[in-house]
Structures are given as C-alpha cells and as structure tokens.
C-alpha cells in the first residue's frame, strides 16, 4: 500500500510536470499581449513596457519557464492580470464554490445513478424501468449547456420555482467562512435560512451537471447488477426461499459494485470538466468561470493554475478509488495495484 | 495577513456594536442592486475609466464639480464657487466647508491639490482630462487655483470628471515602491462620496453603504445600501431582474430591454444617449487605404437593418456627434446606394474576390449583429467578410497592430465630457492612433482635422464651435475612416418603484444612487 | 447484421442517420431559405406555417439555419473523430507492435493526455490557434486521439499473438508489411465501431466549445453557437434557444443508436444490449 502510494505520487509528479510544460507552451503561443491588458487601455507605450518588465514577459521563454517552475516549487502560482492579486488568493476564493457544486453533483449522481440502475435491473419489466431506459437514452444526447439553459427557462423563469444564478440571494450575507462551502458554513453557523437558500441555488446547476452523465452510471449499474442476478448463486438463494430484497442487498450489490466504482472515479473527472459549462451558464463563481474568463483575457497564470488543480483533483479521486477496491473486494489486495 | 485579521476583527467589532446598540433613528435599510455585464479590475479613481469602474467611483468619490443630476451641465459640488480670469487661463475655486473623507480627513485646498496631482502622476485614463493643466496651487486653506496652458471653454466639464481621494489614506498606504498607493486604492477606497465601500467580493459584487458623515442631508427614498453586481451573462441578469433580485441593469441590448419591459414590475428608463455607433475601417491596410473602397463600403452598408435591429430604440445618425448635442445634426445621414457603391468599387479597380476581416465584441447582441449586417451588405459587392468575435479586453491589443489589425471593427463612441470635440479627438486625432493606445483604430491621419479638433475648445463663440464641428464631420464623411451606423436611445430596464437616471456622460450605465429614489 | 431483427427504434435511428446524411450532403435540397439572408421585418418571429421553427434576431429562418448548421456541427465532429482515429490507430499499432520500452513510454504519454481535464486542454489549444473551425477541430482531435490509441493498442496485443502473424514473421515479412497487411485490418472493425459511437460525443464536445465562443464564428449557422447567441434573446424568443438544442439532441441520439445497431458491442450479452427486455430467470 505504501509503495503503491509512493509510485502513484511519483507518477503524479511526472504528469503534473508534463502538464505544466504543455500548458506553458500552449499559453505562450496565444497571440495576445497580457502586459498591454495589465497596463490598462490608456497606457502609454512606455508604461506598457514597464509592466511587461515587471511581469517578466520581456525575458526569453526558457527563462520565464524556469522562473515559473521555481515559483511553483515554492507554492507561488504567480499573479492574475485580471484580478491583480496572487492566483493562490483567487483560487482560495473560487475553489470552494466549485467544490460545493461538484461534490453536490457527484453525490446526487451516485445516489440517483446507482439507485436508478438497481431499480432498473431488479424490476426490468416495470414502467419505472421503461422510464429510466428512456431517460438514459435521452440523457447522453443532451448537451450540458443546453440542459442548463432549458432548466433556467422552465424552472427558473417560467415557473419561478428556483433561482437561476449565483450561490446566494443578494439579500443574504454569506455565512462566516470556515470551509467556504455555503451549505456547510450555514449549518455550522446555525443559519437555516442561508442553508435553504444555498441549496436552492445549487439545485439547477447540479441538475444540469448530473443530467448528461447520469445514464452512464445507471446503465453500468444495471448491467452489472443484472449480470450478477443471472448468476447461479442468486438462483440457488432464491430457490431456497431467501427474499428478493435480501439477495439483492446482501449478495448482488456488493459484487456488482466494483466496475461501478471505477467508472464513478472517471465520471468525477467529467463532472469537473463540465463544471466549466455549468458555471458559465449559471454564473456560478467557481474556478470554471474563473478559467473561462481567464481564457478570454489570456491571463496565463490562472490558466496554468486551473489546469493543475483540475488534473490534481482528477488524479486524487482516481487514486482514492483504487485504494477503495481492496476494501470492497477482499479478492483484490493492494499488491495487485 | 495582519490586515486581514485586523479587518475581520473590525467587522466583528462593528457587528457587535451594531448588535448591542440599536439605533432608534436609523431608517430601515433601503437597498439598490445594479447588475452590470463586466467587473472593474480596479477601484482606483485615478485608473477607472470605463462604466464598470465608474459605477463605483461616482458613488464613492466626488470631484470639485459635478454634472448636475439629469442634465449634461456642470454644477458645484466640493467647490461652491469659482471665478475665471479674463484670459481664460486661471480658475480660482472656493471649497465647501465641513466636508470629510470616509477616513475622517478633512477636505482642504491642499487635499484637493494632492488628489488632483495623484491622478496626473498615476497617468492613466483620467489623466488625459488634465493634459491642459499647467499648475495646481493651494492659494488659501479653502482656495484652489488652477492654471491652464491654453484656454478651454469646457475645462469645468473636464474637472467635474476628476474624483478626489483622501490625502490621509494616500499618506498611510504609500510605500517607497508604490508612492501613489496604487496597490491600496485598487481594492480600497476613501473618498467624500455619499457611499463608502463595505466589501468587494471579486467576480461577484461590490457592496456600498451610506457614509454616516456625508456632508449633505440624506434624502428620503435614496438607497442606503448599494450592491453593484457582475453578471457577465445578460440573460441571467434579466432573470434576476424579473425575480426582483436586481433593481436595475447596466449594459444590455435593445432586445433585452424590450423583453424586460414586458415583465411585471419592470419599466424602461428612456433617455437620449450621447453615443453614435461606428464601424471602423482600418486605413492602414489595403484595400481600405483607397478612399473609393471605403466610400463604396459606406454606400453598401444596410443602415436600415441596423436601425431595425434596435426595434424602435435607435435612429439613423446625422453625423459623428450625437444629435442631442450642439454640433450634432450635421445633416450627414448615411444612406445605402448599391449602384453608387459598385461604381466606386469598379473605379478603384476592385471586382470582387476581396476578403476583409471584421473584429467584433462578443456577448452584446448589437455588436455581434453589426458584423452580420456588414457581412450581408458587402456580400452584395462580392466582398467576403470573415468575422471574429472576442471579449473586450482582446480588442484594443488586436487593433493596435498597425497593418496587421483586422480591416474592420466596431466601436461605441460616447460623449464623456460636455466637449463634443473630445469624441472626434478620441476617434480621429492622430495623437490617438491605436498604436499609441488610443481609439483611432482607423489609423486616420489628417493634419487639417487634427488642427480643427484642437481649435474647438479655444473658440468662445458657440456658433463658431458648431460650425467647426460640422466642418470636421463633413471632411470625415468624405474620407470615411469610419461608418456611423446607428444612434441608439438609452432604454434601461429598471424595477418600477425606482426613479433613476443613467449617466450618459459616464458611458451610460452608471447610476448615482444618491440621486435615485425608491417610491 | 448478424441476422438480428431490427426493432422499430433501430429503423428510426437508421432513418435519422440517412436524413442526417442527406442534410449534410445537400442542405440546399432541404432548407427552404438562405440561412444567411436577413429579413429584418420578420425578426424573432415565433414558429409558424411560414417559419416552421421561427426566426432569429436577423429574421433568418431557424429551420434553414439548423439544416445548414448540420454541415458544421456534424461535419466538424466527423473530422475530429476521423483525425483522432487515424492518429490514435497508427500510434496504438506502433506501441502495441513494438512492445517493451517503446510501448511503455508511448502509453505513458497517452496516460498523461488522459489525465488532462479535456475541456481545459481543448480550450487552451483552441485559444492558442485562434478562433475558427480548424482550430476547434484540431483542439478536440488532440484531446480525442489518446483513447483511440489505447483501444487499438489493446487490439494489437491480442492480434499479435495470432498464428498467422507469427507465421508471417517466421517467413521474414518486414514489420511494416505485417503491421499494415495483417494487424491493422484486424483492428479496423473496432475502430469503425468506435468512430460511429464517438461521433455523437464529439458533436456534444464541439457544440460545447462553440458555445464558449471557441469555434466557428458568427454568422455561421453552427448549433452550439446558435444556442450561445440565442441566450441574448431568450426572453423574447424561447424557440431560438430550444430548436438548435433539439437538433443536437436528436442528432446525437440517432448517431449513438445507429452506432449500436451497426456495430453491436460483442462483449455485452444480447439481452442487455436491448433496453429493459432481459428476462429475470
């Protein structure tokens, strides 16, 4: 297990290094002039040159690269041209919003996806199964951004049930920051009204994020559970008169869960990537929106940082999934990894 | 870090004080929420020069003079009186007594001088209004004397645009590396305005509250709390307006306005807009260096389509200066004439097969649509138009590359001071070429036009000024560095109980909340 | 098709595919109007007998724009997947056939690409290359090829040990010959299946990219771009936002369903391949 972690960490360093290099090269190829943007639209040429020097953009590319790596090792991600503050501060501000969104979406995704999948496999001829089938077929084909837009239009604007943008109503102050997740902080502060409001704001973005990927979890769970249900031991258990529910919960689900788990890890990455689109549609002030605006203004340092954070999270989740296997299935030990 | 802890403690203390000492005289908080499409990158009044920054500056800072509410005239503010020397070069201002900055510092002549000179030294956008100033002197405890290099009939209008910062804050937060405290003022504020900064949640909103030490009595119905939101997505902003979470909007297009008008509880505030929308023709690039080609484009453009797009919220322009301003109505209404256009193109030896690039702004409907109209109009001449839409910050750098910049672009030219020649200077003076960071994106260079533009502010006779302005516009109409395509009417959706005025001299989307009323 | 009987839904998917093919090939046969011509008098006109799906802000017929838009949305997606398939296949074949250190290194590179958040990488490349159809296609192809490489390599590993390959090698056939005569053809059916299936996902990714403003530009009638533009008019014209989205959904649905009909996944038992039909034993 320890060796596994060390190997994983080593691999992460390689990946991270490659990604930093790749993003660095790509971002410096972009035909824009961040110094000019930073200096302001009415800056004189001399002022622009001064800013360029201060930002280190007058240096040769190789030297800029080394300087960036050095900073990175010290935990310095540079400054954002747009916000004029260290990228680390920006991340601290935007990351909690994205974590809140993605974690909530992931939880809903797991519960709904697995739940519907089991339902489908267990009662394959019911109307519910047919509905779920339809949902999964349709779900994959719906673009995230459009799902968000339609949800906004119907549930937000037409019916007025749910808020369509932001994290909190303007008349509510955010709860005192502990974790940065409004739902958690509101509970810690004992503010029910804030909690309810935050959850209501989460509803549509989460729905939009989950809708498109839901079918993957549902189908895989169903296939996996259905395959288990067809096994000999299930028939035996049933013939012995063990109740269906008990067979399902005690025997089938634990066995069926492994492939589902791998897939969930991978899907987390998709949720993360799609959060850019969701955040843009719902003006959710997270790193997806931050990445989007940074791309629009060619703000190098945030782009690099967001890429790193995204990769890191993806990596972390998949490592966690790999570590979970042996716990769930005693046949696999960490030496297999 | 210490600052963070300090401010947290400060906020806690303030909350605690507020909690234990209920203020009987306090009115219930009256909140106004304005949503704009873009967020300012700075709160510094010496730097902020676009509507996203000015919506903050105009509520938190004040100048010696102001543009009187609901007019484009200059009136007293921090200066109560002034006199001008006969040669028009020396202005003497008497300052208001008892005015304090948000940090407690008093307004003195020295403070005013420090504030104005800081703008000059920071030397960004607002400094351009001060280029004619020779010297600023405190000639008494409450008397400020400003000397000009040359006479300028619009000087007071320019001065009204220059906000003063607290000299105490400047002294406290300057460092050897940052003697103008640019770092501090970029995210903090200390002015004399009716509102002070509570907090700025970046990418989200700026919160302002009534400044208790303000020098004017607080009018009933004026908001006591102001929230300046950013909603980069206009449709989101509209939905928030419909739900009553937002009271008024900043930049929106005509369709949003018309849609919002139909929402229950929302009205349109209509005002003349001191703005003319221009299609830029980059003369530094062939074939647009040929006047006949530019004229052909002028006659090919479908102006009516552009006006129709505004569904009644716009008119055909009559020149390059807004029609509501002296010198406007120059009788130069553009019209489409395809036969003439084809003839001019043939004279220029062009027979189709030409491809031109258009650079537009992404996200605002009429900006995007201008590209569509250009593409269609020029297709009739056999000219192909390729379009690129980018967010605003990318446009100026792209246009600043002479001879590589796209052939065509789009700009809103807006009055910022009562001086109409400023608009012409911004777009057509050779001192403002795009390469120099200006908005002469046409790369238009005409010494005669330069000279005429420079002469306007020296002319004391209004009739002479108007004649000169019309003369410049005639020359521009023949040279066609730009097309003037539409003159919009400001129509901003606002929740019905609000009575507000948008500052058309501050790029249209700024509201001075002290003058707003809720019924 | 393995002698299977096709259900009505399968026929519908194939029919949709056919329609899509026609629309992409000859949109002028289907679209009643010029997708670019302005008609300011009819701007933001709701769906009617005259304009089946309504009009946009320039009075342009949405139905015609959606029909012409298939060229961009579907055509570009096809370009992405084909480019990814070619590059990925060659890469995967080389890695799988070479084996050893070369294979390890090559596959590690693939892993690095797969560890990248795809949308961010695509956005970075698309911004670096400048806006336009080509840059969006290249950006997504760069994101897409590694999964092909990985799949093809797996195929090669299993094919490599086949007797006829061994025989060819024993007869002294040059590597290139073995690769392209014996191994690659064996992988093609799987690649073909994957191309069809991925086409739908590529459309989703591409329209997403255009929605963010990184793809073809105004006034090209591309579906994602149309949805993005429609947001500015969503309050006056719901149809403008809804119709291009429906086009995307139907197309992706048809492509994924048709993909499953044409290339059934042999690893899934037949009973599972077909919706909720499996019998409980």
Tell me if A42 and B125 make a contact (CB, 8 A cut-off). yes
C57–B255 C-beta distance less than 8 A? yes
Compute CA B361 distance to the chain's CA centroid, rounded to the nearest angstrom: 17
Quick one: pLDDT band at residue A38, thresholds 50, 70, 90? Answer: low
Smallest Cα–Cα separation from A170: which of C5, B367, B314, B247? B247
- The enclosing H or E element of C26 equals none
CB contact under 8 A, C276 and A142: no
Tell me the chain B residues in contact with residue C42 when contact means C-beta distances shorter than 8 Å. none
Among B316, B369, B374, the strongest candidate for a mutation testing the C interface, having the largest count of C CBs within 10 A, is: B369
User: What's the pLDDT score for residue A331?
Assistant: 54
Mean pLDDT of C233-239: 84
> How far, in whole angstroms, is CA A290 from its chain's centroid?
14
Work out whether strand B383-390 and strand B90-95 pair parallel, antiparallel, or are unpaired: unpaired
* A6-21 average pLDDT score: 85
Buried b (16+ CB within 10 A) or exposed e, A227-260: bbbbeeebeebeeeeeeeeebbeebbbebbbbeb
pLDDT tier at A336, thresholds 50, 70, 90: very low
What average pLDDT does chain B have? 89
Question: How far apart, in Å, are the Cα atoms of A21 and each of A97, B360, C126?
Answer: 28, 32, 17
Query: What pLDDT is recorded for position B470?
Result: 96
> Distance between CA atoms of A253 and C49, rounded to whole angstroms?
54
Give tens-digit pLDDT for C141-200: 999 999 899 999 988 888 877 777 778 777 777 877 887 777 888 888 888 888 888 899
The per-residue pLDDT of chain A, averaged, comes to 82
How far is C90 from C151, CA to CA, in rounded Å? 11
The percentage of chain A sitting over the pLDDT mark of 90, rounded to a whole number, equals: 15
Query: Which CA distances in Å does C102 have to A279, B133, C158, C170, C177?
Result: 41, 72, 18, 22, 19
Q: How many CB atoms lie within 10 A of CB C232?
A: 27
**Is C236–B305 a contact, with Cβ atoms under 8 angstroms apart?**
no
Q: Convert the pLDDT of each residue in B329-388 to its tens digit.
A: 889 999 999 999 999 999 998 876 789 999 988 777 788 889 999 999 999 999 999 888
Q: Which two tokens stand for residue A282?
A: 């719902």
Residue B508: its pLDDT value, please? Answer: 86
Of A157 and B241, more confident = B241
Secondary structure class of B133 (helix, strand, coil)? strand
- The string of pLDDT tens digits covering residues A217-227 is 888 888 888 88
Check if the beta carbon of residue C182 is closer than 8 Å to that of residue C95: no
pLDDT at B407: 95
Global pTM?
0.82
pLDDT band, very low/low/confident/very high, at C4 (cuts 50, 70, 90)? low
Q: How far is it, in rounded angstroms, from Cα B53 to Cα B118?
A: 18
Burial environment of residue A121 by CB neighbours within 10 A (0 to 12, 13 to 18, 19 or more): buried
A52-62 mean pLDDT: 78
Is A84's CB within 8 Å of B240's CB?
Answer: no
What's the rounded Cα separation, in Å, for the pair A156 and C255? 31
> Per the structure block, which two tokens stand in for C220?
């090209």
Q: Which residues of C touch B387 (CB under 8 A)?
A: 217-219
**How would you class A323 by CB atoms within 10 Å of its CB: exposed for 0-12, middle for 13-18, buried for 19 or more?**
middle
Residues in chain B predicted with pLDDT less than 50, given as ranges, are 1-26
pLDDT computed for residue C164 by the predictor: 74
Of the CA atoms within 13 Å of residue B246, those in its CB half-sphere come to 29
What are chain B's partners, defined as 3 or more CB pairs within 8 angstroms? A, C
Q: DSSP for C124-142?
A: HHHHHH-SSHHHHHHHHHH
pLDDT at A207 over 90: yes
The pLDDT, as a whole number, for residue C13 is 82
Give this complex's ipTM. Answer: 0.87
In the 8-state DSSP scheme, what is residue B312? T
Which of B29, B44, B225, B393 best probes binding to A when mutated, by most A CB atoms within 10 angstroms?
Answer: B393
Measure the CA–CA gap between B96 and B111, rounded to whole angstroms.
Answer: 12
Q: Tokens representing C75?
A: 């055509």
pLDDT(C269) > 60: no
What is the mean predicted confidence (pLDDT) over A132-150?
89
- What the block records as the tokens of B355 is 């491809």
* Alpha-carbon distance values, A226 to A124, A222, A263 (Å): 9, 6, 17
Q: How many other CB atoms sit within 10 Å of the CB of residue B19?
A: 8
User: What is the pLDDT at residue B1?
Assistant: 39
A94 touches chain B (CB under 8 A): yes
Please write down the HEC assignment for all residues of chain A: CHHHHHHHHHHHHHHHHHHHHHHHHHHHHCCCCHHHHHHCCCCCHHHHHHHHHHCCCCCCHHHHHHHHHHHHHCCCCCECCCCCCEHHHHHHHHHHHHHHHHHHHHHHHHHHHHHHHHHHHHCCCCHHHHHHHHHHHHHCCCCHHHHHHHHHHHHHHHCCCCCCCCCCCCCCCCCCCCCCCHHHHHHHCCCHHHHHHHHHHHHHHHHHHHHHHHHHHHHHHHHHHHHHHCCHHHHHHHHCCCCHHHHHHHHHHHHHHHHHHHHHHHHHHHHHHHHHHHHHHCCCCCHHHHHHHHHHCCCHHHHHHHHHHHHHHHHHHHHHHHHHHHHHCCCCCHHHC
In sequence order, which residues have a C-beta less than 8 Å from that of residue A70 and are 6 or more positions away?
none
| Chain A to chain C Cβ contacts (< 8 Å) | 142
The answer to whether C178 touches C165, Cβ cutoff 8 Å, is yes
């Amino acid at each position: 297990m320890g060796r596994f972690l060390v190997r994983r960490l080593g691999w992460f360093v390689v990946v991270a290094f490659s990604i930093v290099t790749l993003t660095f090269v790509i971002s410096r190829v972009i035909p824009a002039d961040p110094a000019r943007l930073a200096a302001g639209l009415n800056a004189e040429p001399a002022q622009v040159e001064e800013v360029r020097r201060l930002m280190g953009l007058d240096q040769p590319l190789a030297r800029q690269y080394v300087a960036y790596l050095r900073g990175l090792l010290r935990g310095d991600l540079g400054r954002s041209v747009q916000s004029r503050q260290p990228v680390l501060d920006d991340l601290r501000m935007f990351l909690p919003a994205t974590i809140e969104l993605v974690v909530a979406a992931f939880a809903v995704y797991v519960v709904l996806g697995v739940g519907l999948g089991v339902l489908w496999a267990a009662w394959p001829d019911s109307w519910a199964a047919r509905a779920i089938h339809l949902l999964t077929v349709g779900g994959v084909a719906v673009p995230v951004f459009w799902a968000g837009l339609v949800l906004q239009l119907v549930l937000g604007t037409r019916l007025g049930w749910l808020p369509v943008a932001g994290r909190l109503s303007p008349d509510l102050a955010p709860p005192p920051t502990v974790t940065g997740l409004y739902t958690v902080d509101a509970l810690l502060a004992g503010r029910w009204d804030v909690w309810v409001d935050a959850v209501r704001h989460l509803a549509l973005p989460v729905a939009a994020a989950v809708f498109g990927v839901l079918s993957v979890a549902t189908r895989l769970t169903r296939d996996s559970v259905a395959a288990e249900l067809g096994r000999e031991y299930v028939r035996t258990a049933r013939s012995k008169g063990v109740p269906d529910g008990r067979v399902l919960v005690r025997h089938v689900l634990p066995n069926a869960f492994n492939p589902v788990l791998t897939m969930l890890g991978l899907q987390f990455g998709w949720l993360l990537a799609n959060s850019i689109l969701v955040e843009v549609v719902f003006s959710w002030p997270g790193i997806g929106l931050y990445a989007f605006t940074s791309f629009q203004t060619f703000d190098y340092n945030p782009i690099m940082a967001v890429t790193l954070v995204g990769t890191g999270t993806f990596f972390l989740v998949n490592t966690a999934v790999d570590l979970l296997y042996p716990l769930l299935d005693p046949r696999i030990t960490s030496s297999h990894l | 870090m210490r600052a963070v802890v300090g401010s947290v403690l400060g906020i806690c203390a303030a909350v605690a004080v507020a909690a234990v000492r209920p203020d009987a005289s306090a009115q219930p908080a009256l909140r106004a929420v304005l949503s704009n499409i873009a967020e300012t990158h700075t709160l510094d009044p010496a730097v902020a020069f676009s509507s996203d920054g000015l919506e903050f500056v105009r509520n938190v800072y004040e100048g010696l003079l102001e543009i009187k509410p609901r007019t484009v005239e200059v009136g007293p503010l921090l200066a109560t009186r002034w006199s001008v020397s006969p040669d028009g070069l020396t202005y003497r201002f008497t300052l208001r007594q008892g005015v304090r900055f948000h940090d407690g510092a008093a307004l003195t002549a020295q403070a005013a001088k420090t504030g104005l000179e800081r703008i000059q030294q920071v030397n960004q956008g607002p400094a351009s209004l001060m280029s004619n100033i020779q010297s600023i002197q405190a000639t008494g405890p409450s008397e400020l004397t400003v000397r000009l290099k040359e006479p300028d009939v619009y000087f007071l209008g320019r001065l009204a645009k220059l906000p003063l910062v607290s000299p105490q804050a400047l002294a406290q937060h300057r460092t050897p590396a940052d003697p103008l405290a640019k770092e501090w003022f970029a995210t903090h504020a200390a002015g004399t305005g009716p509102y002070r900064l509570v907090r700025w949640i970046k990418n989200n909103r700026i919160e302002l509250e009534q400044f208790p030490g303000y020098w004017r009595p607080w009018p009933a119905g004026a908001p006591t709390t102001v929230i300046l939101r950013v909603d980069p997505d206009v449709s989101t902003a509209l939905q928030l307006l419909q739900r009553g979470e937002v009271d008024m909007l900043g930049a929106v297009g005509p369709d949003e306005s018309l849609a919002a008008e139909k929402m229950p509880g929302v009205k349109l505030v209509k005002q003349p807009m001191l703005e003319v929308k221009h299609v830029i023709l980059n003369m530094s690039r062939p074939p647009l260096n040929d006047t006949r080609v530019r004229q052909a484009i002028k006659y090919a453009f479908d102006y009516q389509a552009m006006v129709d797009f505004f569904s009644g919220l716009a008119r055909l322009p009559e020149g390059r200066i807004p029609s509501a301003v002296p010198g406007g109505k120059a009788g130069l209404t553009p019209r489409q004439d395809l036969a003439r256009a084809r003839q001019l193109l043939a004279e220029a030896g062009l027979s189709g097969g030409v491809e031109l690039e258009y650079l537009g702004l992404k996200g605002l409907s009429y900006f995007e649509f201008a590209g569509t109209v250009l593409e269609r109009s020029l297709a009739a001449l056999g000219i192909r138009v390729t379009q690129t839409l980018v967010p605003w910050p990318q446009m100026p750098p792209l246009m600043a590359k002479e001879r590589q910049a796209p052939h065509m672009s789009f700009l809103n030219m807006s009055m910022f001071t009562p001086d109409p020649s400023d608009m012409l200077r911004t777009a057509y003076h050779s001192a403002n070429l795009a390469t120099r960071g200006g908005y002469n994106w046409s790369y238009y260079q005409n010494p005669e036009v330069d000279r005429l533009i420079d002469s306007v502010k020296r002319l004391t006779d209004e009739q002479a000024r108007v004649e000169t302005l019309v003369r410049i516009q005639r020359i521009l109409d023949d040279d066609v560095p730009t097309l003037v395509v539409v003159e919009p009417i400001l129509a901003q959706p606002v929740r019905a109980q609000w009575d507000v005025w948008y500052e058309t001299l501050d790029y249209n989307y700024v509201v001075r909340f002290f003058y707003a009323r809720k019924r | 098709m393995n002698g299977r009987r096709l259900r009505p839904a399968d026929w519908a998917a194939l029919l949709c595919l056919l329609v899509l093919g026609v629309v992409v090939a000859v949109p002028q046969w289907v679209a009643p109007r010029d997708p670019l011509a302005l008609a300011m008098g009819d701007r933001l006109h709701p769906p009617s007998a005259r304009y089946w799906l309504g009009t946009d802000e320039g009075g342009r017929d949405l139905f015609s724009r959606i029909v012409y838009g298939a060229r961009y949305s579907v055509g570009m997606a096809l370009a992405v997947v084909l480019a990814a398939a070619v590059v990925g296949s060659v890469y995967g074949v080389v890695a799988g056939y070479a084996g050893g250190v070369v294979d390890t290194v090559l596959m590690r590179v693939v892993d690095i690409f797969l560890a990248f958040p795809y949308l961010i990488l695509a956005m970075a490349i698309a911004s670096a290359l400048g806006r336009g159809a080509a840059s969006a296609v290249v950006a997504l192809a760069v994101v897409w090829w590694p999964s092909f490489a990985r799949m093809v390599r797996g195929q090669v590993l299993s094919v490599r040990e086949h007797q006829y390959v061994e025989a060819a090698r024993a007869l002294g056939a040059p590597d290139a010959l073995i690769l392209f005569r014996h191994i690659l053809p064996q992988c093609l059916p799987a690649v073909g299946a994957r191309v069809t299936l991925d086409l739908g996902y590529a459309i989703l990714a591409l329209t997403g990219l255009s929605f963010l403003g990184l793809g073809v530009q105004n006034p090209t009638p591309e579906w994602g771009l149309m949805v993005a533009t429609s947001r500015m008019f969503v309050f006056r014209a719901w149809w403008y936002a809804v119709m291009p989205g429906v086009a995307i959904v139907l197309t992706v649905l048809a492509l994924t369903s048709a993909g499953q009909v044409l290339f059934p996944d042999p690893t899934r038992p037949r009973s599972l391949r077909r919706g909720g039909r499996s019998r409980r034993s």
